[in-house]
Amino acid sequence: MYLYNSVSHKKEEFIPRDPNLVKMYTCGPTVYHFAHIGNLRSYIMEDVLEKYLRWLGYPVKRVMNITDVGHLSSDADTGEDKMLKGAKRENKSVMDIAAFYTDAFFADCEKLNIKRPDVVEPATNCIDEYIKIITKLVDTDYAYLAGGNVYFDTSKLEKYYVFNEHNEEDLAVGVREGVEEDTNKRNKNDFVLWFTKSKFEDQALKWDSPWGVGYPGWHIECSGISMKHLGEDLDIHCGGIDNAFPHHTNEIAQSESYLGHKWCNYWMHVLHLNTSSGKMSKSKGEFLTVSLLEEKGYDPLIYRLFCLQSHYRKGLVFSWENLDNAKIAFEKMIAKIAAIKPEGEVDEAGLSELRERFKKALDNDLNTSLAITAVYDAIKAQTNGATKLAAIADFDRVLGLDLIAKAESKREQDAKAAKSEGGYEIRGEGDAEIDALVLQRAEAKKAKNFAEADRIRDELKAKGIEVTDVPGGAVWKRV
């Protein structure tokens, strides 16, 4: 498989350090509010990557943190603590907010068929890990104390900007309006490993440390949690593109300085989902959540398909119209699968040919839209129903669209609808797609839409189907 690596800016062949265990780390949510569907785009695409690795036969261990402390509203250690902000907003304790929104996050994930990672670790569980890493960084002069906080000294590194050559002036916190520059920092992009002097007197969560009572910075949590569960190296680290700088850049700086060797081989970043008016936001206007999609009558898996239709390295624009198009595509796909008769024995050669097409798509840096095309290839393939359905079920292990279950329930619904349609009975040769067309024709006639009824009759004729109206129903046969 070839995967784009944000460090080399190239598609690289994916070669795990140990094919018997692929180590994957994902930056988890900051649990101060519901996840918006932009956040969930990142998690859907990372889920596809994990499932595809498993599909290829790799055992995967995936770890995710839950940020319940230390993430300030600006990623550069300034602004308000997000958890505190959430607690104030809802007049609850920080721990209550964290528990509530962690559950809400996984409930959303379940609706979107995003598998729960093997290990999910709240940042507040691993304080000892952070202290261990920071202690060594201080001892080896990679970190310094200033004004009561512990900072990472970025000038100690030969190459700090691993993803891009940034212009330091552009990134300087002080130049941003309304944000105070932290005068304790020796270099503009030094970052806090441990806060003791916090401007938040009411910081709820504090722990004792060699540098005084305080709390960890945001970046150190991912290094600490990853090392706790995955050891000293990692195969793939993922996150949304906004995480590349400063979060992942800082993770690499502190991890490699601590370990004394390379830490992670592949960095996968998902581009953002935005609205036509700009950035996805949790505070402005309509807050786009999975619940909102459901309230508006959309099955959350329509949103999953919407994400899969685009490449993860392209920005994606959300609009209700775009979602409606995904809904239509999803319904068509399900109807087509529902119309496949599960007959014959699986033809192994035919199945492996279909699997090859699917594999080719995903091997090319996870081309999910071509993987969806591979589902249509299976639907149209010159093979029997059992083989088509076996291929679709197999692809859905990665796509996670519940294709087979949804097709079955569509078939049942159509059968019920046909029966309840004033006792309208269709007798044919057992083909759900044809039954559906015959029923549509009957409905058109009932509504006195004869043009539509004739159009459907012609469509059926073109398919070699002859329909005869009989009292209380219709009979069709292939001629």
Binding site for Zn ion (CB under 5 A): 27, 222
| Residue 398, token pair as written in the block | 């990665």
- Cα 448 to chain centroid distance, Å, stands at 47
Least Å from the CB of residue 135 to Zn ion? 21
- Binding partner selected for residue 41 from ligand AMP, Zn ion, none, CB under the kind-specific 5 to 8 Å limit: ligand AMP
Q: How far apart are CA 84 and CA 138, in angstroms?
A: 28
CB contact set of 304 (below 8 Å; sequence gap of 6+): 44, 112, 113, 400, 401
Which one of the spans 193-201, 234-242, 378-386, 450-458 is the region binding ligand AMP (CB under 6 A)? 234-242
Strands 143-146 and 149-152: antiparallel
CB of 269 to Zn ion, least distance (A): 12
d(CA 109, CA 105): 6
Among 273, 399, 426, 456, interactor with ligand AMP by CB under 6 A: 273
Minimal distance in Å, beta carbon 28 to ligand AMP? 7
Site size with ligand AMP, rule: CB under 6 A: 16
Owner of token pair 């292990």: 397
Q: CB of residue 228 vs Zn ion: minimum separation in angstroms?
A: 14
Strands (E), 34-186: 60-66, 72-74, 78-81, 119-122, 143-146, 149-152
Q: Among 5, 6, 42, 387, which residue sits at the site for ligand AMP (rule: CB under 6 A)?
A: 42
- The one-letter amino acid code at 234 reads L
Which lies closer to Zn ion via its Cβ, residue 27 or residue 76?
A: 27
Residue with smaller CB distance to ligand AMP, 162 or 280 = 280
Site string for ligand AMP, 19-38 (x = CB under 6 A): --------x-xx-------x
Strands (E), 198-354: 215-216, 234-240, 264-270, 273-275, 316-318
**Whole-angstrom distance, CA of residue 247 vs CA of residue 244:** 6
Applying CB under 6 A, the span of 55-63, 235-243, 395-403, 426-434 interacting with ligand AMP comes to 235-243
Shortest distance in whole angstroms from residue 124 CB to Zn ion: 15
> How far is CA 368 from its chain centroid?
12
The option from ligand AMP, Zn ion, none interacting with 86 (CB < 5 to 8 A, set by class) reads none
Which of 115, 166, 206, 272 is in the footprint of ligand AMP by CB under 6 A? Answer: 272
Q: Identify what 171 binds: Zn ion, ligand AMP, none; CB under 5 to 8 Å per kind.
A: none
CA–CA dist 261, 263 (Å, integer) = 6
Considering CB distances under 5 to 8 angstroms, the limit depending on partner class, which of ligand AMP, Zn ion, none binds residue 209?
none
Residue 222 binds which entry of Zn ion, ligand AMP, none, CB below 5-8 Å type-dependent: Zn ion
Q: Which is nearer to ligand AMP, 30 or 383 (CB)?
A: 30
- Which listed residue (90, 233, 242, 408) binds ligand AMP by CB under 6 A? 242
Q: Which residue is nearest to ligand AMP (CB)?
A: 240
Question: For ligand AMP, what does the binding mask look like between residues 377 and 406, x meaning CB under 6 A?
Answer: ------------------------------
Q: Which two tokens stand for residue 277?
A: 């008016």
Nearer to Zn ion, 36 or 71 (CB): 71
By CB under 6 A, tell whether 322 contacts ligand AMP. no
Q: Per the omega criterion (within 30 degrees of 0), is the bond before 29 cis?
A: no
The tokens for 357 are 């097409």
- Looking up tokens 């212009």, which residue turns up? 167
Residue 217 near ligand AMP by CB under 6 A: no
Taking the CA atoms of residue 273, residue 277, residue 283 and residue 285 in that order, the dihedral angle to the nearest 10 degrees is -120
Beta strands 234-240 and 22-26 are parallel
**Binder to ligand AMP among 1, 4, 24, 39 (CB under 6 A)?**
39
Which residue number, 103 or 141, has a Cβ lying nearer to ligand AMP? 103
Report the C-alpha gap between 286 and 373 in whole angstroms: 33
**How close are the terminal C-alpha atoms of the chain, in Å?**
48
Query: Minimal distance in Å, beta carbon 435 to ligand AMP?
Result: 42
The binding track of 54-73 with respect to ligand AMP, each residue x by CB under 6 A or -, is -------------x------
CA 228 – CA 76 distance, rounded (Å): 25
Q: Select from 239, 300, 350, 400 the one that contacts ligand AMP (CB under 6 A).
A: 239
- For ligand AMP, the closer CB: 310 or 383: 310
280 belongs to the binding site for ligand AMP (CB under 6 A): yes
Q: Which is nearer to Zn ion, 99 or 244 (CB)?
A: 244
8 A C-beta contact, residue 478 and residue 429 = yes
Residue 114 CB partners (closer than 8 Å, separation 6+): 40, 43, 44, 47, 400
Tell me the C-alpha to C-alpha distance, in Å, between residue 3 and each of 13, 312, 313, 362. Answer: 6, 11, 11, 9
CA distance linking residue 27 with residue 63, whole number of Å:
9
> Residues interacting with ligand AMP, by CB under 6 A?
27, 29-30, 38-39, 41-42, 67, 239-240, 242-243, 270, 272-273, 280
